[in-house]
Amino acid sequence: MVASAAELIEKDKVLALVSPQGTPGTAALIKGGILTTSQIAVVGPFTGDAKVLAGANVFALRSTYDDEIAALARQMKAVGQKRVAYFYYNTSQGPLFAPVFEKIVKDAGLDYAGAVGFDINPAPDAQVQIVKQAAAKVALLKADAVFTFAVGPTFSMAMTSLLENVGKGVTRYTFSINNWEALVKKIGEQDAAGVVFSQAVPYPYANNRRIVREYQSDIKKLAPDLKINFAGLEGYMTAKVVVEALRRAGANPSRDKVLNALQSLGRFDLGDHIVNYSASQRRVEPAVDVTIIGRDGKLRK
């Protein structure tokens, strides 16, 4: 990812890097110093890691994982759940987020039941067995809510294995980085029903926010073949920020002009979704929604 970014910057002379995917790669861009030495902005990275989103020259459009877990913890408490377990893949940010998760749920007044991790194996059959064995350990924690930090194929495995081991009486939670539609398609409506997702960008299927209404209207007029979803809305919001930065950068934009435009953007309302950018801080006013997959395989807020 760093090599690709360097090619874009040095060969293609891009003005900004938009929507890089994932925490490790974006973190590597920050750590390697390429963003600051090139005076280039990263807009709308697809990660909720608080440290990455606070990195120099990074301009977030989504709430942090910390904000998402805090919202889920409030939901757990509101519905009377008391013991919460952490289930994670033992790679990337999975183990690193464990102490953060523990602190958030304890601060919310919930009992922390413990954590169970599972290793990653490139062989699909072996991976299934690893996840099943780990889910059996989760059952021993006697939690009434389980949050899963895993992405990709292991996420659907985790949801199925948890259902088999802890039953439908234990609520399965996860965060916005996972795709609810992909889960329903992979494991079916019946097994996906009841899984709760936090969402770090506005709910795109209603019309109670201006940004959502604009997005829905433009999809209908300009791209009717596209499907309305969270990723589409996030890309739409990111594009609005990029366009505003270019507008403020003037007729002959450069990297430093775009970066300065973003750093001086201040409190900017995208349409009932607020970002607040300056040279010293880049933050999103938390707007986390809690959603659940219904028995019909549809997502509800």
The Cα 106–Cα 76 span in angstroms is 12
pLDDT of residue 287: 76
Work out the angle between the directed axes of helices 180-187 and 153-166 (0-180°, nearest 10).
60
3-class DSSP state of 6: helix
The answer to whether residues 121 and 17 belong to one domain is no
Q: Structural domain of residue 46, as residue ranges?
A: 2-64+229-284
Together in a domain, 60 and 146: no
How far the first Cα of the chain sits from its last, in Å, is 35
Residue holding tokens 């992909």? 182
Residue 83 in contact with residue 169, Cβ under 8 Å? no
Average pLDDT along the chain, 301 residues, taken 10 residues at a time: 96 97 93 96 96 95 95 97 98 94 98 98 96 98 98 96 96 97 97 98 94 97 96 97 98 97 97 94 87 97 92
Strands (E), the chain: 16-18, 41-43, 58-59, 83-89, 111-118, 145-149, 171-174, 196-199, 266-269, 274-277, 282-284, 289-293, 299-300
What pLDDT, on the 0 to 100 scale, is given for residue 283? 87
- Give domain status of residue 294, yes or no: no
Nearest-angstrom CA–CA distance, 244 and 296: 40
DSSP 8-class letter at 269:
E
Whole-structure pTM value: 0.94
Q: Are residues 119 and 176 part of one domain?
A: yes
* CA-atom Rg of the chain in angstroms: 20
Would you state the pLDDT for residue 92?
84
Are 55 and 120 found together in one domain? no
| 134 and 153 part of one domain | yes
Which residues on neighbouring strands pair with residue 172, listed in sequence order?
146
Report DSSP state, residue 1. -
- Considering the domain architecture, whether residues 93 and 143 belong to the same structural domain is answered as yes
Cross-strand bridge partners of residue 118: 89
Which pair of structure tokens corresponds to residue 221? 């007029």
Same-domain status, 60 and 75:
no
Is residue 44 domain-resident? yes
State whether 119 and 60 are in the same domain.
no
- Is residue 28 domain-shared with residue 138, that is, in the same domain? no
**Is there a domain that residue 205 lies in?**
no
CATH number assigned to the domain comprising residue 114: 3.40.50.2300
* SS3 state at 273: coil
What's the rounded Cα separation, in Å, for the pair 234 and 237? 5
Domain-embedded: residue 300 = no
Which pLDDT value is given to residue 211?
Answer: 96
Q: Are 144 and 81 in contact (CB under 8 A)?
A: yes
- 265 inside domain: yes
HSE-CB for 86 with a 13 A CA cutoff: 25
Same domain, 99 and 184: yes
Beta bridge partners of 292: 196, 300
Determine the pLDDT at residue 95.
96
Tell me, yes or no, whether 166 and 99 share the same domain.
yes
**Count of structural domains within the chain:** 2
